[in-house]
A and B are shown apart, each in its own frame.
Chain A
Amino acid sequence: MKKSIRVENLSKNYGGFKALSNINFSVDKGTIHGLLGENGAGKTTAMRCLLGLSYSDSGNMFIEEIEVSKNNFKLRKNVSYLAGDFRPYENIKPIEYFKYILKLENNSSEKYYELAERFKLNLNKKIKELSKGNKQKVGIVQAFMRESNLLILDEPTSGLDPNYQRVFRELINEEKELGNTILLSSHDLLEISNCCDFITVIKEGKVISSQSKRDLIEKTIKKVSINFLSKPSESEINKIKCINNFEVEENEIKFYISGDINEFIKFISNFSIKEIETESSNLSETLLEYF
């Protein structure tokens, strides 16, 4: 699959602080890729390096297979960005702000009307008079109105109420359907697990996991409680690879399973069962383990 973004051995220090340490990840074209991590993990730094707002100390970055080098501003023609701490000009109206941004690139798009309508954003009220959530909508609209192939969104739903978070999710899925790529960062597990096809987890400036959502779901731990009439011995249970852990309480055994569940089903079919109860932990809980 073609890569929209490729990051190789990227490092960035601020004074003595290592913000990024040899990170590697890539973003497939036409996917939604989540950068997950705690505050200060290095998500924003990685994005700023990609956009040329900060310069890396070492490593290589590629957007659409073109290397991101200093002052390679033309590369950003098809890249939209929403800063994590988005700050527009306060003394103008959203419509004036959008027109100004588009004018800077000779872009004649009028998509902001449609986007503002979807987010119920008042285009003619001064930005300084808007609430935090509405200012964030200004940021979202300015990112999507340029009709870019690649959207880099830093904590895009911060300050949005659940209704508009849903509108936002619809919007990024539409972009994905158009073949556009979205890289979004968040420390919100639910947002990442709901939206993304791929998830890269960054912790203390290092990538600790980068895999597809499907792979992650497979790794999700399922809990199965079985009340046996004739229960297996502990040594028999230990032989089954997909059982991560188990707890025995009289005739009831609680199994913690991940990966291929068929092996487990075959195993328990050898025993008489009185009652069975299953419980799946969600992806958010799996992701939480990385923190």
Chain B
Amino acid sequence: MQSLRIICPNGHLGFAPLRVESFRIGVAARPDYIAADSGSCDIGPVPLGTDTSTSPLGWQTHDLEHMLLAAREIGAPMVIGSSGDTGSNSRVDLYVRIIKELAAKHRLQPFKLGYFYSELDKASLRQRMRAGEMVKGLDGRSALTEAELDATARIVAMAGVHPFIALLQRGAEVIIGGRSSDSCVFAAPAIHHGFPADQAYYLGKVLECASFCAEPYGGKETVLGEVGANKVEVTAMHPAQRCTVASVAGHAMYERSDPYYEHVAGGTLDMSRCHYEQVSERTTRITGAQFRPAAEYRVKLEGAGRVGERYVGLVGIRDPYTIAHIDDVIGWARQQVRERFGESGYELHYIVYGRDGVMRELEPMKHRPAHELCVLVQGVAATAAMAEEVCMIGTRQMFYARLPDVRGSAGSVAFALDEVMRASPACRWTVNHTLRCDDPLELFPTHLTTAGV
């Protein structure tokens, strides 16, 4: 095999639907694989903390259906990573079920369906920690403590290429992956077919976000990557998009702190010597990527824990005097919550839009508030009833705030809705760490089944 071609129709399958026109152009190019990643930690800790998807089932099914039918039509394997936003076990099971239902619905010929799990149960991690294994922190975090582990609801480990390759070796024609590095979804087939790791991981890096490596800007369009022995070429499939030196090099820095290095389980992709070349109108060629295997096999862990139930309230403010004293208004409402519930056992958060709502402490203009403000109030507590009351007091008491010189004495804030609303539970990222493993497959059990009729 001189080269291997993979199309990617979506950088986060399910989060928004793939665009069918460019996908069909990509399929008509007869790629060897159709692959996409379906997860991200960008969506915050709630989906992992509560074991849910943020992507609607209809959109997940839409993309899986287009990809599955195309893959079976042209006889190309289909590979999905980080199923259902988080890659937890329940999300893998969900995608396996969707694939089986789609295969039955369309009466597809039987095919081998491989899947693997990525969840790491707390008891087993605790055991490793007590046996002396240090769970190292990333991005300035200290090593994981048992207290933080106690606060964690669910942990997923970030797979590298290994479970994908293991399933390809067993003949899987469709793979549904648990949490995995997005580049490995594409690197795995390339390595499986004997292409060098240098090119394979770069192929993954450039394809992972679909058309984000193309210009003009437009997400969810299909791109095609071709890997050879010493180069990678990437081509935009949408007629109005192009993969240029600027768009491809620019993508290398997207969503990451360091544009030159990409760390995955088992090593690091070094892009510092990459050379980019426009080889045709819509295609850029990349040479010079290098993959450096790690001395120690470490897997990234992501974990989220539930902080409490959550309610939200909204108020508006127009009186300039009240705007100038918004912190006193909030202080008054906080005091009323304190008198009812004490100092602790709940959280009460105020986001003041029109002053520093979006940027908080980073806002340079926080001393020049707008002529009207909107305040989002969040009450968090162990039970829904308490969260509701915390939020209700914290919202409604803004109406009764006592400001010494205010002219309006019939209510300090405006309500569009005189109620508080249940929101998703409040969660937080408790684990952003790495764990050493002896065997690249030990955290990722693989399974093979059959779908179709």
Bound pair: A and B? no
Q: Which residues of A contact B (CB under 8 A)?
A: none
B residues near A (Cβ < 8 Å) are none
